[in-house]
């Protein structure tokens, strides 16, 4: 039995592909790890932070900001403004963003705990907030 494909079905698939291909891409954070281990006094670059559109251009008006919502005492986070390359989206040009750093100070005992960060992106359309969960292992 021979089944003929419908031109309407083919057109619907083409429209769906075009819609998905032109949707805005947003990346809250690009990092290669989900767990971080720090000794007292250490600092580590966790990953790049950016927000881009479908054409790999930045949607930000200023560098992103970060806030610790929940986490172990003695751990601080900061975003340093930087031009970053969103390689996870096959973009080759640098865009406005930042580098997320995590540091530990005053650690007296070993601990393992989750940390919740809230990252705020300032865009022309207003602020966009995303959260990031990180497991943190601390060593004295």
Report pTM: 0.73
What is the dihedral angle through the alpha carbons of 38, 43, 60, 20, rounded to the nearest 10 degrees? -30
* C-beta separation of 113 from 136 below 8 A: yes
Q: Is the pLDDT of residue 23 over 70?
A: no
- Confidence at residue 34, expressed as pLDDT on a 0 to 100 scale: 82
- Confidence at residue 25, expressed as pLDDT on a 0 to 100 scale: 47
- Confidence at residue 120, expressed as pLDDT on a 0 to 100 scale: 97
- Confidence at residue 5, expressed as pLDDT on a 0 to 100 scale: 47
Report pLDDT digits (tens) over 46-103.
999 999 998 899 999 999 999 999 999 999 999 999 999 998 778 889 999 999 999 9
Domains of the chain: 24-139 (2.60.40)
User: pLDDT above 70 covers what percent of the chain?
Assistant: 76
Cβ partners under 8 Å of residue 47, min gap 6: 29, 30, 31, 32, 33, 99, 100
- Confidence at residue 29, expressed as pLDDT on a 0 to 100 scale: 56
Per-residue CA distances from 101 to 62, 77, 124 (Å): 18, 6, 26
């Amino acid at each position: 039995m021979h089944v003929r494909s419908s031109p309407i079905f083919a057109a619907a698939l083409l429209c769906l592909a075009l819609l998905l291909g032109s949707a805005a891409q947003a990346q809250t954070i690009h990092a290669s790890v989900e767990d971080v281990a720090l000794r007292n006094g250490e600092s580590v670059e966790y990953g790049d932070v950016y927000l881009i559109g479908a054409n790999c251009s930045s949607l930000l008006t200023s560098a992103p900001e970060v806030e610790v919502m929940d986490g172990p005492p003695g751990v601080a986070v900061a975003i340093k403004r930087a031009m970053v390359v969103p390689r996870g989206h096959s973009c080759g040009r640098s865009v406005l963003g930042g580098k997320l750093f995590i540091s530990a100070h005053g650690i007296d005992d070993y601990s393992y705990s989750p940390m919740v960060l809230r990252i705020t992106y300032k865009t022309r359309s207003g602020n966009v907030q995303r959260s990031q969960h990180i497991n943190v292992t601390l060593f004295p």
